[in-house]
Structure 1
Amino acid sequence: MNFIRTLTLRQLQIFSVAARHMSFARAADELHLTQPAISMQIRQLEDAAGLPLFERIGRRLALTEAGEKLTHHASRILGEIKDAEDTMTSLKQADSGSIAVGIVSSATCFAPKLLARYSQQYPRVDVHFLVGNREMLLRLLQDNAIDLAIMGRPPPELDTIAEPLARHPHVLIAPVEHPLANARRFDLQELRAETFLLREPGSGTRIAAEDMFRQHLFTPAKIVTLGSNETIKQAVMAGMGVSLISLHTLLLELRTNEIALLDVNGTPVERTWQIVHMRAKQLSPTGTVFRRFLLEHAAPYLEREYGVFAPPAVVPRGAGR
């Protein structure tokens, strides 16, 4: 009971931001506070809880078990309060308030540009976006910490509404000097001796690659797991291996001819960008307008940006399936 009496929403907000960044300094920057002020509020929260919420492991900050559990409660509480605020705002008008959007890292190549266009059209709306892998976005949706998520595969494990935004082709890439860089329509088995550079398990791109391997009865000679699309692209250009990756992450490399697209049978692996929210989530009028904006603008924008880089290897096939 003492914990409830002394707990403040400000402390929960500070704790939630510090837990997201795993850094008091970065939390201070985001919240426009000093680092000692962040430390003091966290210490008061720990005193009220009677348990440590953070611990130092070497030079890294980590959550304790109590901190992990409080993170989910804090996200739900702050999400509910934001819903109440949005509801009150929506009673006035639909072109103000705030929206929290989660995007998978593969979507950072285009989503921020669409968000910027939306902000130009609706300057009074405060748009917050969080970048993470698929599993992180599912947790944020479930905790009501975000209103909407842009991801590649609808989450069957959650009761959500998912609507298609645009085509999302995945292509096989290799160094430009790869011996099969100019080959036409060869089988995936031709790459059986290659090292495949893949994202972490659970990411949408990794799931797409594993699905492709199963469909082709293919087992890579070696898999190296890397933590970001940028790292994968740099590793491919350095000759470390080949990779299945979203076409939409390759705009710069295709323009400068730094990466080769491999023309493998069964590629591109066709996926779809989705806009997702929890079925139980009551989107505010502002959120509804934002969702409609993405549904109207995402596909034309991606086609304009990437249509020129659609050789036979990335022309959609089997559209009627």
Structure 2
Amino acid sequence: MQAARRLHLSQPTVSKQLKALEERYRISLFLSRTPPLKLTPAGEALFREANQLFSSVDNVEQILEDDQSDRLLLRLGSDTPPLAARLAHEMKIAFPRLHCQVRIENARDTFELLRSGQCDMAIVTDPPVHPNFQYVPIREDRLMAAFPTDHPAARLPAFDIRGLADESLLMRETWSRTRTAIQRLFTDVDVMPRDIQDLHTRETIREAIALGMGMSFFFSIECAPDPRIVYLPIRTEVPLPAIHYYLISVIDKRHHPMFRRATDIAKAWYAPAAAPELQRQH
């Protein structure tokens, strides 16, 4: 089914073509037809040769695209705007006439865009594992606390999570990875805020913090500089929940120069999670 979807064909059509190939050359490509499918030795040999052939085709395409590079298109999906913008920027430097299309969705919808072929590569937080995709870790990240600059906590070197019981907490939407991490933190340290206000988007929460409506938590990559807000590392006796960002692309495209370049960029970015002692940011 997945192969048929990626080829934009029906499953019966793909099955018939495979059967015709086996009958023509009197070989078996699969040990059985029941999932999970496993290749025979002949199937594995054919798979290796096909991969090399597709790699050569990709290289030929790149040569042609170098002469007609206005046709070079990168469709990038992401659930993390800063990383998406950074990758688009560096890819544009590598391929000056590259045309970028960036779509920002939540992690679940971004992964679906890639799975359904609506984007070429994606930056996704803690994505599901899929055998047809290549995963390149970009970075780890942990939560930081955000306060208005006139809040008493803003003068501290770090925020003691036990102080949350005295705070009004501004929260993201229920399916947000940030909200999930915060709720896990509540459970781990057995503490709850004085009250919770649901404001959904990062932008709305930042404005509400600046107005003094309450405090919130952001992953460090989301801590955009704002003179009205102070971001503090969190002091806690239990490990802070971590998330992991990955660049994902289709394995079959990994030899294409554009995809190789994106992979090299992502590998160069890799950074472990910031330590709790991270200095506060304004």
Whether the 8 Å contact between 2:137 and 2:267 is mirrored in structure 1 is no
The offset of 1:240, in angstroms, is 1.4
State the TM-score, normalized to the length of structure 1: 0.58
Task: Pick one of 248, 270, 274 that aligns with 1:276.
Answer: 248
Contact 1:261–1:313 (CA<8 Å) still a contact in 2? no
User: Any idea what the Cα deviations from partners look like across 1:65-107, whole Å, max 9, x if unmatched?
Assistant: xxxxxxxxxxx68x859xxxx9966533266532221111xx3
Match of 2:60 in 1: 91
> Alignment partner of 1:312: what SS?
coil
Deviations 1:237-275 (A, max 9, x none): 11111111122222321xx3x212234323865433221
| Mapping 1:70-81, distance limit 5 Å | 80=8
CA offsets 1:214-237 (integer angstroms, 9 cap, x no match): 221233333323332121111111
> How far off is 1:112 after superposition?
1.2
Look up the SS of the partner of 2:207 in the other structure.
helix
Aligned to 2:196: 223
Rg: which structure is higher? 2
CA deviation string 1:165-215 (max 9, x = no partner) = 123332111111222222355531211132222221222222222222222
Partner of 2:155: 182
- Secondary structure, counterpart of 1:154 in structure 2: coil
Find 2:75's aligned residue among 88, 100, 125: 100
Aligned to 1:203: 176
- How much does 1:278 deviate? 5.5
Letter in structure 2 aligned against 1:232: I
CA contact (8 A) 1:147 1:283 kept: no
Q: CA RMSD in A?
A: 3.5
Query: What secondary structure sits across from 2:62 in the alignment?
Result: coil
The 8 Å contact of residues 114 and 298 in structure 1, kept in 2 or not, is answered as no
Q: In structure 2, which of residues 239, 243, 256 is the aligned counterpart of residue 285 of structure 1? A: 256
**Gap regions ≥5 residues in structure 1:** 1-75, 316-321
Give unpaired runs (5+ residues) of structure 2.
10-54
Aligned residue in 1 for 2:277: 312
Q: In the alignment, is the contact (CA less than 8 A) between 1:154 and 1:162 conserved in 2? A: no
| 1:313–1:220 CA distance, 2 compared to 1 (3 A) | same
CA distance in 1, matches of 2:249, 2:176: 18
TM-superposed CA distance for 1:277, in Å, is 3.5
Q: Which has the higher contact order (CA 8 A, sep 6+)?
A: 2
Preserved contact between residue 77 and residue 119 of structure 2 (Cα < 8 Å): yes
How many residues are aligned here? 222
The percentage of counterpart residues that share the same residue type is 22
Looking at structure 1, the residues matched to 265 and 203 of structure 2 have their Cα atoms a distance apart, in angstroms, of 25
User: Matches of 1:139 and 1:111 in 2, distance apart?
Assistant: 17
Question: What is the CA–CA distance in structure 1 between the aligned matches of 2:139 and 2:59, rounded to whole Å?
Answer: 29
* CA distance in structure 1 between the aligned counterparts of 2:213 and 2:123, rounded to whole angstroms: 30
Distance 1:293 1:80 in 2: 30
One-letter code aligned to 2:61: K
Give the aligned partner of residue 265 of structure 1: 235
